[in-house]
Amino acid sequence: MSKQVVVVGGGVIGLLTAFNLAASVDQVVICDQGEVGRESSWAGGGIVSPLYPWRYSPAVTALAHWSQDFYPQLGERLFASTGLDPEVHTTGLYWLDLDDQAQALAWASREQRPLSAVDISAVYDAVPVLGPGFERALYMEGVANVRNPRLVKSLKAALLALPNVSVREHCQITGFVQQDGRIVGVSTAEGELAADEVVLSAGAWSGELLRHLGLELPVEPVKGQMILFKCAEDFLPSMVLAKGRYAIPRRDGHILVGSTLEHAGYDKTPTDQALASLKASAVDLLPGLDGAPVVAHWAGLRPGSPEGVPFIGPVPGFDGLWLNCGHYRNGLVLAPASCQLLADLLNGAEPIIDPAPYAPHGRLG
């Protein structure tokens, strides 16, 4: 078994990869170009479901189902060991006025998921702050959201408590070290860092790093902007989604509204145009937010990939190099399954699900 693993990228995918590998290898080193978890993991909404799960391939569905079932115990385990609660908050989710409602219901029946049509009057009874004019609704019970900044803090604390894990922040990776056709480490501004295995989990920056090896990874940054309101703790009892925008209630009354989809390279600057658009969507969905102060407005970069199917597994032609990246809008949703699958493959264990759809082989340029 490998003695030392270097994980490149300290978002939720990288942190949870390291957490899963720590029990089976001698040493895990996490390197991040900034502070761990401060990119898309920090910026996302944290809904523990793809926004429209029926629109994704079976590959995404398989990861999502495994992760959704696992999240509550992950939250409890991290809270118990660190005292930092990731706040896995089960509220259920309403979809309003979908164009593809029939497709959604057919998917739910096929996948045996608890998604059903509900009378709109029942929705207004359950969510009285909902805006007027909606006519149809679907509801899935049991859908949770996780408070992603707290999940990151909890994961980091859990890792720092492990004697065989080290976290190197502000550690810029400048390339890979090769020897006899194998990847044996990474190059950093402070010198080379040796490894038996290297796992690339650098989100939207993964493609940039793979170019050092002459490989083209179809992962690109896709900007998303969000806003945050503060309301009474009981203002919004459930997550709601309409016209491509969603509102997520946190336990303390914060309401997160998102998000935009923008192809703007690596620019993370929040814009007034997006702020106005998000405010308008928020008030359309929940009129009680009109006039409520926006306590935060931020942007993050999602690792956009074809059809949102992540790359998980060994890189052909470069023994010792593994990918766990390209989760697009579903990094938080898919993290538990993705990171367990990567650990299974690296350890030579029986994989939790069929790894073939995620294999980098045949998918890199």
Which residue spans of the chain are classified as CATH 3.50.50.60?
Answer: 4-45+150-219+307-358
> Shortest CA distance to 230 belongs to which of 184, 170, 293?
293
* CATH superfamily name and code, 4-45+150-219+307-358: FAD/NAD(P)-binding domain (3.50.50.60)
CA–CA distances in Å: residue 313 to residues 318, 325, 338, 365: 12, 10, 10, 16
pLDDT (0 to 100) of residue 291 = 87
Beta strand 115-118 pairing with 294-304 = unpaired
| pTM, to two decimals | 0.95
Omega into 259 within 30° of 0, i.e. cis? Answer: yes
pLDDT per residue as tens digits for the range 226-273: 999 999 999 999 999 999 999 999 999 999 999 999 999 999 999 999
pLDDT at 2 over 80: no
Mean pLDDT, residues 92-105: 97
Helix/strand/coil percent split, the chain, to 5:
35, 25, 40
Mean pLDDT, residues 281-285: 97
Residue corresponding to tokens 């860092």: 193
> Shortest CA distance to 192 belongs to which of 172, 206, 177, 209?
177
pLDDT (0 to 100) of residue 13 = 98
Would you say 188 and 180 are in contact if contact means Cβ atoms under 8 Å apart? no
pLDDT (0 to 100) of residue 65 = 94
pLDDT (0 to 100) of residue 1 = 54
Counting residues of the chain whose pLDDT is more than 90, the rounded percentage is: 96
Strand ranges of the sheet holding 173-179, from the earlier edge strand across to the other edge = 173-179, 182-188, 191-194
Mean pLDDT, residues 292-316: 96
- The helix or strand, by DSSP H or E, that contains position 78, with its residue range, turns out to be helix 58-82
pLDDT per residue as tens digits for the range 77-97: 999 999 999 999 999 999 999
Q: What mean pLDDT, rounded, does the chain reach? A: 96
Report the alpha-carbon distance of residue 7 to residue 201 in Å, rounded: 7
Residue corresponding to tokens 């409602």: 101
User: Per CATH, is 93-141+220-304 categorized as 3.30.9.10?
Assistant: yes
DSSP symbol at 46: -
pLDDT (0 to 100) of residue 365 = 82
Report the DSSP beta bridge partners of residue 31: 8, 168
Residue 109: phi and psi, rounded to 5, are -65, -45
Counting residues of the chain whose pLDDT is more than 70, the rounded percentage is: 99
Report the alpha-carbon distance of residue 148 to residue 120 in Å, rounded: 31
Report the alpha-carbon distance of residue 183 to residue 220 in Å, rounded: 24
Which residue spans of the chain are classified as CATH 3.30.9.10?
Answer: 93-141+220-304
Mean pLDDT, residues 193-198: 97
